[in-house]
Amino acid sequence: MRKTVSVSLDEFDRKILDAVQDDNLSPLRLIADKVGLSVPAVARRLQRLRETGVIEKDISVVDQDLVGRPLTLIVEVTSESERLELLDAMRERFRACPQIQQCYYVTGQVDFMLVFNVRDMEEYTALTRQIFFEGGNVESFRTFVVMDRVKTGMRTVVG
């Protein structure tokens, strides 16, 4: 059983997705104006986009600086063993760590790419011990300190 790999979206759907990826609290009336449909039409389409999972979720994004987590780090992790259970255990460890905002399993010379979001270096080094050294199966890791978050977010091009 496989996930549906595509859904049919027309130009209206794309415009709606474009709008709500910027602001999903905007009144339907405004979206309706922008895309050239009536409010009920937009409502129906949004409902369908949510039911089918095209719109995965609706969330607030908080400013990490203003809540005291100004530091972002990107970390490449290379594992010792590629054994499935061990890799899965790592995945789970990373997923469970709240300060790890993003985790990708990748091909190539490294195995995982992580994005950390922490209060300061002290918190990071402490986490490092916990999930890299004590966690197990980590051969090495390389840390990049983010100096400028040039572009962030989860926006997807729907064009």
Partner DNA sequence: CGTGAAAAATGTTTCGG
Partner DNA sequence: CCGAAACATTTTTCACG
> Could you tell me which of 20, 146, 82 has the C-alpha nearest to residue 91?
82
- Within 8 A by CB and 6+ apart from 75, the residues are 113, 114, 115, 116, 141, 142, 143, 144
Give the angle 13-16-17 at the CA atoms, nearest 5°.
Answer: 85
Which option in a copy of itself, DNA, none does residue 45 bind, with CB closer than 5 to 8 A by kind?
DNA
> Interface with DNA includes 86 (CB under 7 A)?
no
> Interface with DNA includes 40 (CB under 7 A)?
yes
Stretch that binds DNA, among 37-45, 84-92, 125-133, 138-146 (CB under 7 A): 37-45
- The one among 14, 18, 28, 135 contacting DNA by CB under 7 A: 28
In the bound complex, what is the minimum distance in angstroms from residue 104's beta carbon to a copy of itself?
A: 5
Based on the number of CB atoms within 10 Å of its own CB, is 14 exposed (0-12), middle (13-18) or buried (19 or more)? middle
Nearer to a copy of itself, 7 or 80 (CB): 7
Residue type, 128: T
Task: Using CB under 7 A, list all residues that contact DNA.
Answer: 12, 25, 27-29, 36-41, 43-47
